[in-house]
Amino acid sequence: MTHDSASTSPLYLSQRWYTRGYKWWLLGHVLKHRWKILVISVTTVVGIFLQTLIPFILGYVFATIPSGDLSLILSAGTLVIAIGLMKLVTNSIAAALNEIIAQYVEMQIRIEFYHNLETKSMSFHDSTRAGDLIQMATGDTRQINASISPGVRITVTTISTLLFTWIAMFIASQTLSLVFLLTLPLYIFFLTRFGRKLHPLSKKRQAIVARMNAELQENLTGVRVVRTFSVQDQEIKKFQDTLEDLEDILKVRGVTSAFYIPSLILGITTALIFIAGVYLIDITLAGATNISIFGFSMYVQTVGMAELITFLGLTSILAMPTMFLRWILDMTLLGFAGAARIFNVVIHDNVIETGDYIPEKTAQGHIEFRDVSFSYTEDSPSVLSNISLTINPGETVAIIGPTGCGKTTVGKMIYRLYDVTKGAVFIDGVDAKKWDVKTLRRLVGVIEQDTFLFSTSIRNNITYGKDNATNEEIMAAAIAAQAHDFIEDFPEGYDTLVGERGVTLSGGQRQRIAMARGFLADPRILIMDDATSAVDAATEARIQQAIANIQKGRTTIIITHRLATLKTANKIIFMEKGNIVRVGTHADLITSFAPYRRIFKRYMTLPPLVIEGN
């Protein structure tokens, strides 16, 4: 498993817990609380030991009744009450500690999962549905919690109860214990079979719940598209199909749990013990000491009514752990199913590895692509092919080309939103992969056409990434982005809430707030990807002046077809099908490069075409 440096945080586990699979990984999180588990075990064992004494006391009381000694009966009753109170105390301590463990494990797994998602490459996020990840971070972690609390305590209780009860049975009556042993193999067989049938059903249930949440999240996010194309019925049908699949799997799990054979076997065992006990009491009263089984004579221990009452009391104790075993298997397997899904994401090796290079001085902003190729997956076509390019510090470079030519991807290679497939990108002479990734990304400011705003205030959106910005800095960035005036028009000003993804703002307003965010970050390298596409001509003219001011002393990469921007660029890179086909100034390309001329043919009168060599 590959982690970045932050993943070595003490919040998480040592490497050995990740190599054995999801069950050991989950166990590793639980065993971080081994001392609490020890206290739970001790208090639970004490409580179970006390509980197994009660049938013996009741048997003693039954044997004492004929003597008429009421003081002994009252003493026994008082002892039973005292044992009940002591068991209440031990149960309370164990339950409280178990809940503390469960809540902490849930929190830690959720933190680890979220932190891990933040370190994943964009290739991972491109291939994974957000709703699926949300279900893992919420539903699956809650399922893990439910399997731990009261799972740990109940597991200890069940094992201790079974062990102490079986021991007490042999002490109470070895003869009646033989009857119990005859049915024990069937009990264990059907218990194991129940777990094996339930495990795949639990995994399937979690997968379908995740699919349901993913569809719901995607549909709500794209509600405007759904309404625009009037496909509500289609979406309802798709969601209904998923719910029907969930219903089917829940019914199968319910029927499987309903036919929980171990409970039936325990009931049959109790009946057999009662019949055998009555029979043994009868032959004991008759003075016989041997019974014949399949022609073989066998010595039997004397069985009286007190022994039978004690043994039946012990058998009744087994009803609780038998039902608990069903619950434990049910909840534990659901917890394991959730843990498996989270674990598969945590160990997924598609993680952005970080280097440790941090420049001692202010970065210069020198960029060099050396024979860079990139494709999103191994099987997908190349987006970039053998790109070699040098951008000097303080230089303004425009990238232009038809849709899908790879111009936006060039920018993403610089700040490692994606990693190159072949070749290398160097920043100030150092391979980008050797840079500390956080330092590198603080060095680069990105303003994109497809802006994303968080559902918080305008102020918080502008200061995202620079929480310590002063009001003067925020306002200056907004003024530079031509956003200050419309922000002031809102009743709440900079504290106006923008809604999810900035839905309450126009496209141009969102873009200008995103520009203010980029300006405030004060980056050494500024990447602008068609950042003024959603603003009117008058606003764009003012923004262009602001961009010209903020470009000073920075390396700027502008992805645009805007003529005004292209004219001011130090050089223009023309791309087609993932390749750089021409580099030059606007004056050079407009007179000598036909593909570049075609872009502006309908907007302006072109100068004569200069054919090279003439």
- pLDDT for 9: 37
Q: Are residues 289 and 373 in the same domain?
A: no
Residue with tokens 């105390």: 89
Give ∠ CA 452-453-458 in degrees, rounded to 5: 150
Residue 49 sits in a domain whose CATH number is 1.20.1560.10
Residues 168, 316 contacting (CB under 8 angstroms): no
Sheet containing 444-448, strands listed edge to edge, beginning at the edge strand earlier in sequence: 444-448, 525-529, 555-559, 396-400, 571-576, 579-584
Amino acid found at 229:
F
Same structural domain for residues 554 and 522?
yes
Res 11 pLDDT > 60: no
> Which is it for the CA torsion 191, 194, 196, 202, positive or negative?
negative
Whole-angstrom Cα distance, residue 290 to residue 92?
A: 48
Which strand (E) or helix (H) includes residue 110? helix 70-119
Is 335 in the same domain as 399? no
Whether residues 318 and 403 fall in one domain: no
Mean pLDDT of the chain: 80
* Cα distances (angstroms) measured from residue 145 to each of 99, 114, 152, 543: 9, 17, 11, 52
Q: Clarify whether residues 261 and 322 are in a common domain.
A: yes
Domain-located, residue 515? yes
CATH code, domain with 495:
3.40.50.300
User: What are the backbone angles phi and psi of residue 297, rounded to the nearest 5°?
Assistant: -85, 135
Paired strand residues for 430: 427
Q: Which residues contact 563 (CB under 8 A, 6 or more apart)?
A: 600, 603, 604
Question: Does residue 3 sit within a domain?
Answer: no
Q: Are residues 480 and 573 in the same domain?
A: yes
Same domain, 39 and 109: yes
Residue 251 and residue 210 in one domain: yes
pLDDT at 294: 52
Give the end of a domain, one of 286, 315, 346: 346
pLDDT for the residue numbered 531: 61
* Residue 8, pLDDT score: 35
Q: Is residue 351 domain-resident?
A: no
Write the DSSP assignment of 350-413 as a string of letters. Answer: -B-----B--SS-----EEEEEEEE-SSSSSPPSEEEEEEEE-TT-EEEEE-STTSSHHHHHHH
User: The tokens of 95 are what?
Assistant: 């339950």
**For residue 4, what pLDDT band results from cuts at 50, 70 and 90?**
very low
Q: Are residues 330 and 373 in the same domain?
A: no
Work out the average pLDDT over 417-445.
Answer: 89
Residue 385 φ/ψ, nearest 5 degrees: -135, 110
Place 505 in a pLDDT band, splitting at 50, 70 and 90.
confident
313 within domain boundaries: yes
User: Per the domain annotation, does 396 fall within a domain?
Assistant: yes
Q: Tell whether 52 and 190 lie within a shared domain.
A: yes
Residue after which a domain boundary falls, among 282, 315, 346? 346
471 burial via Cβ count (<10 Å: 0-12, 13-18, 19+) = exposed
- Residue ending a domain, among 346, 379, 399, is 346
Instruction: State the pLDDT at residue 2.
Output: 38
Whether 174 and 68 share a structural domain: yes
Cα gap 76→56, rounded to integer Å: 10
Shared domain for 316 and 413, answered yes or no, is no
Residue 612 in domain = no
DSSP 3-state of 602: coil
Q: Is residue 609 part of a domain?
A: no
Judge contact between 160 and 44, C-beta under 8 A. yes
3-state secondary structure of 558: strand
Do residues 385 and 373 touch, judged by C-beta distance below 8 A?
yes
Give pLDDT, residue 572: 92
Least confident of 1-5, 194-198, 367-371, 403-407: 1-5
Provide the domain count of the chain.
Answer: 2
Q: The pTM is what? A: 0.68
Integer CA distances (angstroms), 457 to 4, 465, 474, in order: 32, 14, 13
Q: Quickly tell me which residue has 């510090």 as its tokens.
A: 393
Q: For residues 61-84, give the mean pLDDT.
A: 73
Domain that holds residue 457: 367-600
CA angle 278, 281, 283 (to 5 degrees): 110
In a domain? residue 562: yes
